[in-house]
Amino acid sequence: MGVKNNTSYTVIVGDWQRCAKDAAMIRHEVFVEEQHVPVEEELDDRDAVCLHVVAYDAQGTPVGTGRLLPDGHIGRMAVRRAERGKGIGSLLLTRLIDEARRQGHPFVVLAAQLHAQPFYAAHGFAAEGPVFLDAGIDHINMRLMLSDP
C-alpha cells in the first residue's frame, strides 16, 4: 500500500500478510512480555481483516505498530519501550486516522489504556463512558469525529 517518511522513521501500511511478522513481534514484546497480557487475549482472528501500520527506524528495525478494523476501530497500538517518547505513536496514529478518513469513516474509536488517555486526548479524542477492565488493565473508550455528524 503506502510508505510515509518522517526524518527518521518509515511507516508501512498493509494487510496482515505484509505486516504480520513485525507487528506480531512488537505486540508480543509490549503486550505479552511487558504488560503481561495473556497471549490468547492479544492474538485474535481480526488481524486478517485489518489494515496494519508498522514503523521502522532508520536502520530498518520495527519499532511500533497499530491496526484499523473495518468498522473504524483503532487498536493494538504499541511502541517498543526504548523508542517511546520519540513521536512514533503520533506518527502511527496519524496514519491510521488518515486511512480511516480515506475509507470514509465518519469517526474512529479506540479503547485506550488509562495511562495513554492524555496521548489520545492530545490528538483530539474524547473519552466516552466508564473505565473498564480489558486483559486486567484499566481502559476507557475514546472517539474522534472525522466529519460532521
pLDDT, tens digit (0-9, with 9 covering 90-100), for 83-105: 999 999 999 999 999 999 999 99
C-alpha to C-alpha distance for 47 and 17, rounded to whole angstroms: 9
pLDDT score recorded for residue 129 = 95
pLDDT score recorded for residue 147 = 78
Q: How much is the mean pLDDT over the chain? A: 92
pLDDT score recorded for residue 66 = 98
The pLDDT of residue 3 is above 80: no
Mean pLDDT along residues 15-39: 95
| Residue 132: all three cell numbers together | 473498564
Q: What is the DSSP string of 58-111?
A: TTS-EEEEEEE-TTSBEEEEEE-GGGTTSSHHHHHHHHHHHHHHHTT-SEEEEE
Domain 2-105: state its class.
alpha beta
Mean pLDDT along residues 30-42: 91
Give the residue, 91 or 135, on which the prediction is more confident. 91
Q: Where are the domains of the chain?
A: 2-105
pLDDT score recorded for residue 148 = 64
Mean pLDDT along residues 111-119: 95
Residue 27 · residue 65 · CB < 8 Å = yes
pLDDT score recorded for residue 7 = 59
Mean pLDDT along residues 1-14: 71
